[in-house]
Structure 1
Amino acid sequence: MQRGSDRLSVHRDDEMKHELQGLLRSGHPTRSEEWHDPEPSADDDPEVAFGPVTPGRAPTSLEAVRLELARFLSRGAFPAGPRELVRALDRRYAPDALIEALERLPRQARYPNLQELAEALTRARETETA
C-alpha cells in the first residue's frame, strides 16, 4: 500500500537494494568503475582534530583503535600474526602510523580476532608511554 510519503518509487528502492547487495555481503566496494568508490585518505592530508586514530597518538581508546583497524581489516584476515596483518593493511592503504604500530608487536604473537589485536596495540602504547 502506497501512502505517498515515500521519496523513491518501489522500483527504484528495489534497484538500490540490488546495488548494495555486493557491498553488504563482501564488506568492500564491488563496483567495476573505481571512480565510483570513495577515495581513501592520504598520508599528507591535513589533520582533523587529533588526526587519524592510531595507537601512538592521544587521545585513543580501545574502541577508537578497534574502529580504525576495522576500516582496513576484515574477518578473513584472522587469525594472523603481525607480519600478515601488516601486509593486509598495506594492501588496503592504511595509514603508515597504524602499520608502524603493528610492526612493533612481537613477531611470534597470533591474534584470533580484531578485538585482541586492538587490545594488544593499546597495551603496547600504554607500556611505551609509561
Structure 2
Amino acid sequence: MERVSNKHGTRLDEEMKQEVRGNVQGIAGGRAEEWKTPEPAGEDQPEASRVPDMDNHADLTRFGRYIGLSSMPGDRAGLRRGAEILGAPDDVLADLDRLPEGVVFHTVTEIWAALGRGAAERLPQ
C-alpha cells in the first residue's frame, strides 16, 4: 500500500514535487529565494575576485612544483637533477641553469629571489 498525502491533492503534490526537484537532485537552477542570489559588482566598484599579485604568485607556485623536497637544500646541479626527475618544462630548467654556481638554496623563495623575481625569506649561504 502506497502512502500518499491527502492534504493537498494529487495535482498540487506533483507541482510541489517539481518545484523542489532541483534542490533535491542537485540540479542547477533549483528554486531559491531572491535574497540568496549574489548581486554583480557595480560599475564604480573594483572586481571582487581579483587578488593583487596573483600572477606572480601563480608563477612561483608553478615553478615550485618542480623543485622536489628531496633536492633541498641543494645547489644548482642538484636542483636541476630533481627538476628533471619531476618532468620540469624547458623554461623551468633554463631558470635553474641561471642560478649562481656553488650557492646552496634552502627554500623555493630563495631560488625565486636569486632569479630576480621576488624577496627571499633568508639569504642563501
TM-score tier, shorter chain, comes to 0.3 to 0.5
Is the radius of gyration larger for structure 1 or structure 2? 2
TM-score (norm 2): 0.45
Higher helix share: 1
